[in-house]
């Protein structure tokens, strides 16, 4: 009827230090992403498709970490990791759904940069407000039926023997490890879904950036090249970090290998990357830094 998440019980001496670090990181994620949403909605200079997608990414990141961190903090505080089968399935479903949505949204952002740099004259027509809304809606709803089906398939398996999950949340590989019987079909399903929502979007992003870089190198102005690279570099950094961690986790040949570095890699893409993302996007973007200065000046007067 329930699982037990081991979390970080193997390092009891560091419980309160970890609690403080994770709480601080969670509050940082909430605050930084909320500020990005606020300035992209209120600053007239940021009313462009690029910042519209960025504000949606910030909202998505808030939802994404809220699925994991509050539960993890509660487990560290109480030093209990009991979680019902239904709660575990719900957490997994929402985590996979939001993770898949982020992959698609990052692809949409790459396409936006491709049109802006490679087809600047057509950009206002191609990336009009209606198209932007449609791309966002498609990114959010495409994953829903696939993820619900995958989660149901996993939790319809019989679980016997140990009910202990050696992880800090209900992720696919450690949960599958507890299932009885033949899980070959489930493993194939996990890999197929991972290819669709990780590999394919990543390849589309690589193709987009290949064309973008080719186009940038053709620019005669060194200043123009620097500005174009600056606009794209922050997104490219986020893509490499997020897709790299996802590939290591969900495209391993054998799920049992997950335990070797599973927790560390999961911490990387569930907490560290969402903490770094707002900093990467703001510190490397002059428009956002200027909007932030205006907001601070306005709040101080």
The answer on pLDDT for 255 being more than 50 is no
The three state secondary structure string of 146-168 is HHHHHHHHHHCCCECCCCEECCC
Q: Mean pLDDT over residues 17-33, rounded?
A: 95
pLDDT at residue number 259: 58
Alpha carbon distance 301, 297 (integer Å): 6
DSSP state of 253: S
Structure tokens at 190: 């996990």
The answer on pLDDT for 219 being more than 80 is no
The answer on pLDDT for 229 being more than 80 is no
The answer on pLDDT for 202 being more than 60 is yes
Q: Mean pLDDT over residues 287-294, rounded?
A: 87
Alpha carbon distance 291, 282 (integer Å): 10
Domain boundaries, the chain: 2-300
Alpha carbon distance 273, 127 (integer Å): 28
Q: pLDDT tens for residues 185-198?
A: 999 999 999 999 99
- The band of 216, judged by pLDDT with boundaries at 50, 70 and 90, is confident
Strands, E assignment, the chain: 2-5, 82-84, 164-165
pTM: 0.92
The answer on pLDDT for 253 being more than 70 is no
> Mean pLDDT in the chain?
89
Task: Give me the helices (H) in 2-48, please.
Answer: 15-42
- The band of 8, judged by pLDDT with boundaries at 50, 70 and 90, is confident
Q: What is the fold, at CATH topology level, of the domain defined by 2-300?
A: Rhopdopsin 7-helix transmembrane proteins (1.20.1070)
The fraction of the chain above a pLDDT of 90, given in percent, is 58
Q: Mean pLDDT over residues 139-167, rounded?
A: 93
């Amino acid at each position: 009827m329930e699982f037990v998440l081991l979390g970080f019980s193997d390092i009891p001496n560091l419980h309160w230090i970890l609690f403080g670090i994770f709480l601080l990181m969670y509050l940082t994620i909430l605050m930084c992403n909320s500020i990005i949403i606020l300035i992209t909605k209120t600053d007239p200079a940021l009313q462009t498709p690029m910042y519209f997608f960025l504000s949606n990414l910030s909202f998505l990141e808030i939802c994404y970490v809220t699925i994991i961190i509050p539960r993890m903090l509660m487990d560290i505080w109480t030093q209990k990791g009991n979680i019902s089968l239904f709660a575990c399935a719900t957490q997994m479903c929402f985590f996979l759904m939001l993770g898949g949505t982020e992959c698609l949204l990052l692809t949409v952002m790459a396409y936006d940069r491709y049109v802006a740099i490679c087809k600047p004259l057509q950009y206002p027509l191609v990336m009009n407000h209606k198209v932007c809304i449609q791309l966002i809606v498609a990114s959010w709803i495409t994953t829903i039926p696939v993820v619900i089906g995958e989660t149901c398939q996993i939790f319809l398996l019989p679980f016997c023997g140990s009910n202990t999950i050696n992880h800090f949340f209900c992720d696919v590989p450690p949960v599958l490890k507890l299932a009885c019987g033949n899980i070959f079909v489930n493993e194939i399903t996990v890999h197929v879904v991972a290819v669709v929502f990780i590999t394919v979007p990543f390849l589309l992003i690589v193709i987009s950036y290949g064309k973008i870089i080719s186009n940038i190198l053709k620019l005669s102005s060194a200043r123009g090249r620097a500005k174009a690279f600056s606009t794209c570099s922050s997104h490219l950094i986020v893509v490499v970090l997020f897709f790299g961690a996802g590939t290591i986790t969900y495209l391993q040949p054998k799920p049992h290998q997950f335990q070797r570095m599973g927790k560390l890699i999961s911490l990387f893409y569930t907490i560290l990357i969402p903490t770094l993302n707002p900093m990467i996007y703001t510190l490397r973007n002059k428009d956002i830094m200027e909007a932030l200065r205006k907001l601070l000046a306005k709040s101080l007067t």
